[in-house]
Structure 1
Amino acid sequence: MIPSQNQAQTRFFNDIYIPRTGKIQIPFDNLDGGTRVLSDETECDRYIALYGGHHFHKLYAAFSSTNFKYTDGKSVEIIDWGCGQATATCVLIDYLIERGIKPEIKSITLIEPSSIALCRGYNFVCQMLQPNLLNHSIIKTVNKNIDYLEFSDFITSDSNIKIHLFSNIIDVEAFDLSKLYNLIINCFQGINRIICTSPYQTARNYRIDNFYSMFGEYPGTKNPFHSDEEIFQEIFKVATRKFEKSRIARYERQFSVKL
């Protein structure tokens, strides 16, 4: 189970994102637009300060388009692909806390090539779940590039609902989408919800469309949702060093598939 609002000691926006917004030095390094594999603690803090607010609001919008109430009391696995510091998993837990939805989280798999980001992500997820609930969830870290993943890297059961989080990763042209597709259809039997979010980038959004199209040929694919609608929410602005309402461009596809 996840904490209720009364139990929760850590929330993503106030306790992970906001404390790191003061850690950007001017002039700042934008970490190759957020695509760089992070190499130290300073880069990890900088990434959250620069992009954490964008992630939070895009993911909240995506999760609102999924009827997660069907997971209440059900056994769930979370797979966070190219997770960085596990932002997507943390925001999902935050969203479930906010909405009072309490699935039984059997396992969380965090996949990330940066060992420092992966370690931080593991610690953030532990904070979000709260220490007294960790005994009920297995958190597995996989320090690999997506192309090198194997079946043995995952803990999964056919009877569990699988939630796949692809936050700002499908659009990155650093791995083979066909390999990823084959890994998912061969490894994750049962009900899968696949959620892909990205900045709106005309040159790279085709990868998200292609990924969806692969599953579109599968007879068990249903409940698709697509949006490229901008979001206007408050984030930290580096130029003014203040929190301001800002335009957040996004590109999102999500769908369910029973394998």
Structure 2
Amino acid sequence: MIISSPQEAQIQIRFFEDIYKPKIEKLPLLRDVDIDHGRRVLNTEAECDKYIALYGGHHFHKLYAAFPSTNFHYTEGKSVEIIDWGCGQALASCVLIDYLIEKRISPKIESITLIEPSSIALWRGYSFVRQILQPAFSNNSRIQTVNKCIDNLNCSDFVSSYKNIKIHLFSNILDVEDFDLNKLYQLIINSFSGFNRIICTSPYNNKRNYRIDSFYQLFNEHTIVKNSFYSDEAISQEIFYNNTGKFKLSRIQRYERQFLIKI
């Protein structure tokens, strides 16, 4: 007989089974035209559900493929801040927490900062993160919501400690051409002292991949970049197909950069 550890026994909420699937199983046939292929600010619950159904699986698999390159075991027992930029419904934060649960890595998550211009998506993201934090992680994790476009952010929107490890998540956002990368770079430099791990994932798009490269180069030219990783290798995973209402193995294109900086 296999006896679960106390930590395993506490694990109840997982992203794929408890957040992703329930949102897609009863949806009608969907088209992504009215959400501009996932790039438009969402205004309704229906649009939020549609986004999760059409793109939630892609987020999940691209991030799960990216996270091993960070080797999160170094965060075990350490204080961590998660900053989720252009978070939408906080799928990236939820998938990161899910990954830590699966790998039995237990950092002390001091705070999760969710940044998003859509108030309805932000509220749903807050609810999803609160759901997946329990009971595997502490009740004391602070979730901060910032209801702004990235260009409108300033240093006063963030509370950060030099002592904490910062994990910045950019999932399907840097390829959106609606904000100034140099301004974002300056904001990070001025707001987050100490160790910062920056994880950037995106769909592969020849016309917009340059933005991830440009963002990386801003840090590479002005700060010491370590542990950098790059990939444009597609992955094959099961995602939900709206036209059939079933999961099917699919080739998911991606573009990814990760790096560590000390500010």
TM-score (norm 2): 0.94
Residue of structure 1 equivalent to 2:3: none
Residue of 20, 23, 37 corresponding to 1:20: 23
Residue of structure 1 equivalent to 2:184: 180
For the aligned residue pairs, the C-alpha RMSD in angstroms reads 1.4
- Confirm or deny: 8 A CA contact 2:81 2:165 kept in the other structure: yes
What is the correspondence of 1:58-137 to structure 2 with a 5 Å cutoff?
Answer: 58-130=62-134, 133=137, 135-137=139-141
Tell me how far apart the structure 2 counterparts of residues 43 and 4 of structure 1 sit (CA, whole Å).
36
Of the structure 1 ranges 139-148 and 18-27, higher mean CA displacement relative to structure 2 is found in 18-27
Q: Deviations over 1:199-224 (max 9, x none)?
A: 00000000000000001113421110
Of the structure 1 ranges 130-139 and 170-179, higher mean CA displacement relative to structure 2 is found in 130-139
Residue of structure 1 equivalent to 2:163: 159
Residue of structure 2 equivalent to 1:250: 254
- Confirm or deny: 8 A CA contact 1:4 1:97 kept in the other structure: no
Deviation at 1:133, TM superposition (A): 4.7
Q: Deviations over 1:186-207 (max 9, x none)?
A: 1110000000000000000000
Residue of structure 1 equivalent to 2:43: 39
- Structure 2 spans left out of the alignment, 5+ residues: 1-5
Runs of 4+ deviating beyond 2 Å: 3-6, 22-30, 131-135
**Structure 1 counterpart of 2:161, which letter?**
S
- Structure 1 spans left out of the alignment, 5+ residues: none
Residue of 128, 137, 142 corresponding to 1:138: 142
Tell me how far apart the structure 2 counterparts of residues 133 and 22 of structure 1 sit (CA, whole Å).
28
**Structure 2 counterpart of 1:25, which letter?**
P
Q: Deviations over 1:14-72 (max 9, x none)?
A: 11111122344335234111001000111111110110000000000110111100000
TM-score (norm 1): 0.96
**Structure 2 counterpart of 1:112, which letter?**
E
Of the structure 1 ranges 230-239 and 194-203, higher mean CA displacement relative to structure 2 is found in 230-239
Residue of structure 2 equivalent to 1:6: 9
- Pairs aligned (count): 257
**Structure 2 counterpart of 1:123, which letter?**
S
Tell me how far apart the structure 2 counterparts of residues 112 and 190 of structure 1 sit (CA, whole Å).
24
Tell me how far apart the structure 1 counterparts of residues 157 and 12 of structure 2 sit (CA, whole Å).
31
Q: Deviations over 1:76-118 (max 9, x none)?
A: 0000000000000000000000000000001110000000000
Q: Which secondary structure state, in structure 2, belongs to the residue aligned with residue 6 of structure 1?
A: helix
What is the correspondence of 1:225-244 to structure 2 with a 5 Å cutoff?
Answer: 225-244=229-248
- Confirm or deny: 8 A CA contact 2:168 2:196 kept in the other structure: yes
Tell me how far apart the structure 1 counterparts of residues 30 and 149 of structure 2 sit (CA, whole Å).
31
